Amino acid sequence: MSLKPDSSVDLNIIFEDNDILVIEKPAGVLVHPTEKKEKETLVDWLIAYFPAIKKVGDNPQRPGIVHRLDKDTSGLLIAAKNNTAFNFLKKQFQDRSIEKKYLALAHGSVKDDKGIITKAISFSKKDRNKRSALLDENSKSAWTQYQVLKRFSGYSLLEISIKTGRTHQIRVHLASIGHPVAGDKQYKFKRQIEPDGLKRQFLHASYLKFQQLDGKIVELKSELPDELKKVLEKL
Which residues are marked as active site? 70
Q: Which residues of 87-103 are buried (b: 16+ CB within 10 A; e: fewer)?
A: ebbeebbeeeebebbbb
User: Residue 212: how many CB atoms within 10 A of its CB?
Assistant: 16
Residue 230 Cα distances to 110, 147, 150, 177, 183, angstroms: 22, 22, 15, 26, 14
Residue 116 Cα distances to 19, 92, 100, 168, 190, angstroms: 34, 22, 15, 16, 25
DSSP state of 79: E
Residue 32 Cα distances to 51, 62, 157, angstroms: 15, 6, 29
- Whether the CB-CB separation of 19 and 66 falls below 8 Å is answered with no
- Whether the CB-CB separation of 108 and 178 falls below 8 Å is answered with yes
